[in-house]
Amino acid sequence: MNEKDLEEFFSDEPIEDVKLDLEKIKATLPQYSSEKLCEMIVCDRYFGFGEKISPICMEELARRRIAGDTFEFESYIDQTYKELPVLDLNIPDIRSILNQAIGRKINHQ
């Protein structure tokens, strides 16, 4: 990153609202590998994107299976998801953190 990129990244300007173009995604799905479709499903589930992409990808995988594709996408999705670390988005209470820090300082004196 150069200096200009860094300034833009850390600017106080509001961030653009980015939306996925689901129609464009649907139109380009056939060019993706089955593995890539599964990874899109896993990311959608893992990050909680509202699960709009998952059904679209699952439909494409189902079409491929009906057409004779033998890729075991269910097990690939399950295995890939299990390999990801558990997200802990709980924010601890600042009071308990401060109390722990104060308690440690008192105990070390």
Interhelix angle for 53-66 vs 34-47, to 10°?
A: 150
pLDDT value at residue 50: 64
pLDDT at 60: 96
**Residue 22: what pLDDT?**
84
DSSP per-residue codes, 23-65 = HHHHHHGGGS-HHHHHHHHHHHHHHT--SSHHHHHHHHHHHHH
Quote the pLDDT of residue 4. 72
- Dist. CA 58–CA 62, nearest whole Å: 6
Q: Show pLDDT as tens, one digit a residue, over the chain (109 residues).
A: 567 766 766 666 676 776 778 889 899 999 999 999 999 999 998 887 766 889 999 999 999 999 999 999 999 999 999 999 887 767 666 777 677 767 665 555 5
